[in-house]
Chains A and B, each alone.
Chain A
Amino acid sequence: MKLFSEKMNVPFNLFYNIVGDSIYTLDEKSPEAVTFDSSQSRVLQNLIVCKSSNQGKDLGGKMILMDAYSNAGLASEYIIFLQDKKSPYKIQNEEWKRKLFRIIDPVFIQEAVTTFQNNKNIGIVAAAESILNEWDHSDQSYKSNNKRQLLNLQDQYKIYTKDHLYIAGTMFWARAVTLENFFAKNNPLDIRSSLEKGNVMDENSGSNTHAWERLLSWLITSQGYGIKGL
């Protein structure tokens, strides 16, 4: 909460999900929910706190928040996806996290808004270093453990992209209308029900959860919008 208050300098609604079945949140009393007073914040307009089970990792949480976004009727111009990034098995995890959180630095915010305003065909703005591409031209397929899930889900949800770029870590700015369009037809909770429970990893085999990490970008680019890295 403090992080957002310090960094955000434009009016925003905060949709915040806590994973309930975790030892790290067992004693958490959601102080934000109890103490939030909109008059105390210059830029925070509304605070919506959700508590979820550990399903679909951060993607499961994002689906719950997209559902809450839709139910609460608090339409916005842009949506920023963030998460408390904890991947203790990754080398240089802290450095990666710092880079990803750069997207809510005041300078980045200014640049992101300007980029969206000046380029109507941009759907995603992200930290440049988080933009990846797993498309293997020689194989004409994805070089990923999640290849099977990706192809199935692309067919199921008709998400076809030309350039296959996606935002690793799923922290990025999105033009809200693109997400609203997609989730109006494909309910986020129904999608979440197909995500794996618990601490799912894709080191040895694929998962729907990790496939959706890619699809969350592609559902925007498949609507004809581009990605801009800053």
Chain B
Amino acid sequence: MINRIFFVADETSLLGNQLPDEENVFFSVRVDPLDEIKLKEIYKFTIDNPRLPIALTLSLTGKLPHETIRLLTSFFFLDSSLRIDNKPVINIMGDNPEILSGIEIHLKDYCKLQGLDEVIVNTIPGILNQSLNYSTARSPEEAIRLYREFLNLRHFGTGTLFTLLTANDNLHDLLKSLASEDLGLDKEFTGLSDLIVKCRLLEKETTYLKRKLLLNEKELANQKQYQDILRSQHSTRQLQDYYNNEYEILPKWYKQMGHVLKVIMGKRTLKSLFRDDVKKYRD
């Protein structure tokens, strides 16, 4: 899809386990975050369905306790939870903007303590606060209309449509209808969708290379740290001290006797006691 679409359902069973992979199409489960039992069920579902990465959509009516924020963060560590551009994703929705923004801050602060510096928190717009490039559809018909509006407004890759699913909706048919809107765009602007796809691929590659550069720089710093330790007096010094204390301080005649013992035990060749150009130790 040219624009981003989130399908949001109240039950995991309504989500697209059977759908083919489609670029820019994501799945989410709506939950009251204070319902710990439901959250744990979704957690288990996420583990059991690695082919269907999902994000949580939180229905928020009040502040959340620390324990809940922590449990939400636990989802971000699951490999099978949804990531976009390598960042964990969560959606929030509710009528009180102050509550939403407070929870977003609380969640991001705790994530930073966990080394998750970048988390995508999408605020799903309500009926009264739809924005130009963030819209919410409450029926398949509305989804198609809003998606068409995105394209009419020339949102090519910058729109995000949240579609709230019900048990009666046919996800397969809806996705097909939305995809046909993208195809319709090509009739108006020949080759546009190809260009958008290429642009997206280049953006992905750029993001990947930037990340690779950053990680290589980190690794170089790590290697430098290792080198510094090796050059310092840590492990090598310990080994040298051990050698000095256990062997080097022994008298020379004792060490020489040791070499004769090695020959007797078959560990060293006899010739090597007298010559340097022969094999010294047996394999």
Contact = CB atoms under 8 A, between A and B. Distances in A.
Interface of A: 17-18, 20-23, 26, 30, 33-34, 36, 46, 48-55, 60, 64, 67-68, 71-73, 88-91, 187, 189-190, 192-193, 197-199, 201, 203
Given A21-B215, A26-B215, A73-B40, A50 B77 contact: yes
Contact of B79 (A49, A89, A90, A189): A49
Considering residues B40, B43, B79, B223, which has the most beta carbons from chain A within 10 angstroms of its beta carbon? B79
B184 interface: no
Interface of B: 40, 43-44, 47, 50-51, 70-71, 73-74, 77-80, 86, 110, 113-117, 211-212, 215-216, 218-219, 221-223, 225-226, 229-230, 232, 234-236, 239
A181 to B, nearest CB: 18
A91 B110 CA distance: 38
A33 B50 contact: yes
A55 B218 contact: no
12 contacts: A22-B218, A23-B212, A34-B50, A49-B50, A53-B115, A64-B77, A73-B40, A88-B223, A89-B226, A189-B73, A189-B74, A189-B114
B246 to A, nearest CB: 16
**Binding site secondary structure of chain B:** helix
A26 B211 contact: yes
Nearest to B81: A51
B212 A89 contact: no
B24 to A, nearest CB: 20
Contacts of A52: 77, 115
A152 B222 CA distance: 28
Contact of A51 (B71, B77, B113, B114): B77
A50 B50 CA distance: 11
B229 A201 contact: yes
Nearest to A190: B70
A89 B113 contact: no
Contacts of A50: 77-79
Given A48-B47, A91-B235, A201-B229, 10 more contacts: A18-B79, A20-B86, A23-B218, A49-B79, A55-B115, A73-B40, A89-B226, A189-B70, A190-B70, A192-B114
